[in-house]
């Protein structure tokens, strides 16, 4: 039997719903999701496999028009990932007007010249007329390929999109074993589930200032998996917020994260969370390497 297999890079502004779509297509939470922009920090590969095809979805951090060295790097990363992919998926947030960021990404996709699709997401929040107007505006961006209105949240339109993406894949063998869902190391995946709970529960600068690292994973004889993790903050005041009055915040984060981890692993887990300060961890190359952020 001949198979199709390849890489689809998802590019779009922060908050468009790229990670939500990856999880929907893969059928499992491989990338964390939040309403805070720039939730995704690492390029994550999510894998969906059928008997005769395999789609590898490359979930990229949201791209903004480059304004400084950081956004320049993010743009370079997007360009590299696009060049290494078979198909470009351009995602638009249907709830927002098309802006300079979208035009910037559209241009990058036109330039790379790959087969592409444009996905208008969040149609569950738009009525028919608004969807039609948004589709018209999306078409004016003039990205090659077809346009798909979807809701990554409800799954509406996602089946048609997947079918079309598969038709754009080259023929070839699978890149990952069929049971594999993501390329993330387990410790990174667990750390991400904890970070997701931090994002859901904090505001302002904290979502960007926090990072999570797994210190220890230990199988106990009674089958319990004991996880020790630390949440890094940049300042003492951020640490105080993360701990909360009487430790309430860190306990809530831990309880919710443990539930998510137990679903992922299908087993009982004990989670020990501590909060530490590490000034300027965002510039600490060794820590970033250890955290798998490149």
Task: Please give the residue ranges that form the binding site for Mg ion (CB under 5 A).
Answer: 19, 39-40
- For residues 88 and 113, what is the distance between their CA atoms, to the nearest angstrom? 9
Binder to ligand GTP among 79, 110, 124, 284 (CB under 6 A)? Answer: 124
- For residues 106 and 166, what is the distance between their CA atoms, to the nearest angstrom? 22
Task: Decide whether 124 or 180 has the Cβ nearer to ligand GTP.
Answer: 124
Residue 36 CB contacts under 8 Å (≥ 6 apart), including other chains: 15, 199, 207, 208
Select the span of 27-35, 48-56, 140-148, 220-228 touching ligand GTP (CB under 6 A).
Answer: 27-35
Which of 72, 61, 51 is CA-nearest to residue 5?
Answer: 51
Binder to ligand GTP among 4, 29, 45, 122 (CB under 6 A)? Answer: 122
When asked if residue 197 is in the footprint of ligand GTP (CB under 6 A), the reply is no
Structure tokens, 80:
């590299």
Closest approach, Cβ 244 to Mg ion, in A, equals 26
Q: Considering only residues 223-262, where is the footprint of ligand GTP by CB under 6 A?
A: none
Is 116:109 a contact under the CB 8 Å cutoff? Answer: yes
When asked if residue 61 is in the footprint of ligand GTP (CB under 6 A), the reply is yes
Residue 220 CB contacts under 8 Å (≥ 6 apart), including other chains: 226
When asked if residue 64 is in the footprint of ligand GTP (CB under 6 A), the reply is no
Structure tokens, 178:
């069929």
Is 53:166 a contact under the CB 8 Å cutoff? Answer: yes
- In degrees, rounded to 5, the angle at the alpha carbon of residue 78 between the alpha carbons of residues 167 and 261 is 80
Task: Decide whether 8 or 135 has the Cβ nearer to Mg ion.
Answer: 8
When asked if residue 125 is in the footprint of ligand GTP (CB under 6 A), the reply is yes
Binder to ligand GTP among 38, 71, 79, 144 (CB under 6 A)? Answer: 38
Which DSSP state fits 171?
B
When asked if residue 18 is in the footprint of ligand GTP (CB under 6 A), the reply is yes
**182 touches, from Mg ion, ligand GTP, none (C-beta below 5 to 8 Å by class):** none
Which of 106, 90, 86 is CA-nearest to residue 167?
Answer: 86
When asked if residue 20 is in the footprint of ligand GTP (CB under 6 A), the reply is yes
- In degrees, rounded to 5, the angle at the alpha carbon of residue 109 between the alpha carbons of residues 73 and 83 is 65
Closest approach, Cβ 21 to ligand GTP, in A, equals 7
Closest approach, Cβ 59 to ligand GTP, in A, equals 7
Binding site for ligand GTP (CB under 6 A): 12, 14-20, 33-35, 37-40, 61-62, 121-122, 124-125, 151-153
């Amino acid at each position: 039997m001949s198979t199709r297999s390849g890489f689809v890079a998802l590019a779009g502004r922060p908050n468009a719903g790229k990670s939500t779509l990856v999880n929907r297509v893969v059928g499992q939470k491989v990338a964390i999701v939040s309403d805070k922009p720039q939730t995704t920090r690492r390029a994550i590969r999510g894998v969906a496999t059928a008997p005769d095809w395999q789609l590898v979805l490359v979930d990229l951090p949201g791209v903004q028009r480059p304004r400084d060295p950081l956004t320049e790097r993010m743009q370079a990363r997007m360009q590299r990932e696009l060049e290494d992919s078979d198909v470009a998926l351009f995602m638009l947030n249907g709830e927002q007007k098309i802006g300079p960021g979208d035009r910037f990404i559209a241009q990058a996709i036109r330039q790379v010249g790959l087969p592409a699709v444009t996905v208008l997401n969040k149609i569950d929040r738009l009525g028919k007329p608004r969807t039609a107007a948004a589709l018209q505006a999306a078409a004016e961006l003039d990205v090659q390929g077809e346009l798909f209105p979807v809701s990554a949240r409800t799954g509406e339109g996602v089946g048609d999109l997947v079918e079309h993406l598969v038709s754009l894949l080259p023929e070839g063998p699978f890149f990952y074993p069929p049971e594999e869902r993501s390329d993330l190391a387990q410790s990174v995946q667990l750390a991400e589930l904890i970070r997701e709970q931090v994002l859901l529960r904090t505001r302002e600068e904290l979502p960007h200032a926090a990072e999570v690292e797994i210190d220890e994973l230990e199988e106990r004889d009674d089958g319990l998996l004991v996880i020790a993790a630390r949440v890094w903050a940049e300042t003492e005041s951020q640490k105080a917020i993360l701990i909360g009055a009487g430790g309430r915040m860190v306990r809530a984060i831990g309880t919710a994260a443990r539930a998510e981890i137990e679903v992922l692993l299908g087993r009982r887990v004990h989670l020990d969370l501590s909060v530490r300060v590490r000034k300027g961890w965002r510039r600490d190359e060794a820590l970033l390497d250890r955290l798998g952020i490149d």
